Structure 1
């Protein structure tokens, strides 16, 4: 979306401005999932609402009037009218507290968002669909069958309604939420507007679970959210690609825990995944029978060390461990700043990696070198 014109309001001390700023920021950011960009008039109108000069209903009336008076305002294909109207409707829904966890609520949100824009607003599709995805090299997710959409939707809702979050860790909660929302999206019960509808419904549902979710993650990373949903529902065994919620979970950690994990769409491309796995295969080609340490060259079978200590790491983390070990071996001392520089991580990412390696008994703290220094444990 470029520079977020509402970011300053998210730092406001006035709760009402923060809440409205979040609602508009998210509403406008979500248009990116369908390649839409709201007009300057919409942004100006939104700011008037945030500042308390007009109500939400007045803002919507202004947007409607704007397009009634300018029927030739748009060049064919720009879809700015859709972006503006849907943005104002999303902002209104996110500003309301009313919510019901049900298939009817889900369908109702679609109807409210796209009434007067799509003929099928609030209607379940009666045909099967495919969509070519850039991150899948033109392949498509297998979406729900038209003949089973309502039954599938009701089943997923009943499963979630009966699920208990009691006693779960935050990691387990986030994983479950990722699975639920990815399955809901995969049904794709509408002809168009599924991602925007699913996102709005999900935010409302998160609030009933006690999450405020009032930051700019959706505004800045709506396209990543959609691509993460795609990767959570795509398997190609011939290419070695498996459906995974890891990207969606990373997004949710930023949304719900205010973590600062980097979200890059290129990382979700299946070609990038295959390249990472090839790196891991090359790294894994070690002689596990020969555990001799070449002290001079620091050539160590670090994979066998990880296995012995019970470490189960992702491909990305394994590569990070190898890069650190290549640099420091068993004798070198390093801290968070060095990890940030070598692995090109942000402060939160470096801290998280060091914490995970400590818990797995891979590294240990050392004294005499200043606070927060570590080395690989022999």
Structure 2
């Protein structure tokens, strides 16, 4: 087992931005393999008839029906597949039963950008309906592409984006990189209530800024938004998003260097006194945390309401207990996941209350279903 006692102690106590004040939840997980043969499954979308959509980073969309995997017939020929970029996050529209629509987030070539694309699924074929949002910055290498879309209870589309490993992007409020966006699912326009509506200095689609590479966006019952974000060699962060707030990542050091200086703090409160500290951080190590979602339903018992966060490098799942205001209460590591399934990319709470998790090793990746053990 790779997680040594010292690292576990760091994860649960010293590396957190709040002290443990309550005992950890009890309970065990049952993990079932639903499908295999995937390649970097990036997200999971749930269709009303029980089928699942899983975008794969190389530019393929899997349709999973009762464990059988087929490939959706769709033209992803303009997807820029490079490094961390490719076909990434996905959301199924709430009106899918009537429209058949879902939206993907993908790196794009000619012109080069990261964009959101809305599709219509008819059987096992998807046709492009519209480019919902274009012009997000992209690195030709694919580095720090983001890109995680999630629907909020009010129907808003929240999108976590990456800074493309460029020094000034995260603090540039005219750029959509290194941000959390809040947009209309049908038009891509900014929504009423966005913090920068009417501002000449900030794109009105921005909800928060100063992020490095947002990989997970999760919405809690009641509307609180949390993100999971990659740090460099330290300080992966889980953040509680506050509208209009700066989260303090600035590898340009206030524009004083043209280099992408990753030695700066993830949340630089010296340079930005109002920057929002992380709810939880890995401290001096990195786990490469990725997607996040909440456990929903009484079947989870003491674990109900915990935030599940999966990790790529760390090859584990973490459960974060949060009080009603979003302050960290405890962190636990379910042993069912520790180093047993490889790199973990996506985690989504399904309509049945189960967690759906993808592996991301690049060869024969899996889709897993996670429920409470009896």
- Which interval holds the TM-score relative to the shorter structure? under 0.3
Structure with more relative contact order (C-alpha pairs < 8 Å, separation 6 or more): 2
Higher strand share: 2
Q: Structure 2-normalised TM-score?
A: 0.28
Q: Which protein has the larger Cα radius of gyration, Structure 1 or Structure 2? A: 1
More helix by share: 1
